[in-house]
């Protein structure tokens, strides 16, 4: 019995799954607006919220 083919099928299945997940999350970030001209606004909003939280301590 040749055990090469199951490992090859598993490897290609794994690569396809990782590629599909990468494309899925990329499309999700495009849909949520992370790649537009205002894509980094969320970062600045988070930093402003963090600064507000520290000033109340």
Q: Which residue has the higher pLDDT, 9 or 33?
A: 9
Domains of the chain, by residue range, sit at 4-55
12 has a pLDDT exceeding 90: yes
Look up the pTM and report it.
0.61
Mean pLDDT of 25-33: 90
What DSSP letter does each residue of 1-57 carry, written as one string? ---HHHHHHHHHHHHHHHHHHHHHHHHHHHHHTTTSTTTTHHHHHHHHHHHHHHHT-
The predicted-structure confidence for 42-54, as pLDDT tens digits, reads as follows 778 777 776 666 5
């Amino acid at each position: 019995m040749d055990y090469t083919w199951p490992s090859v099928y598993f490897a290609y299945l794994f690569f396809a799954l990782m590629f599909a997940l990468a494309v899925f999350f990329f499309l999700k970030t495009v849909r949520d607006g992370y790649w537009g001209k205002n894509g980094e606004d969320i970062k600045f909003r988070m930093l402003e919220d963090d600064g507000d939280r520290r000033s109340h301590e």
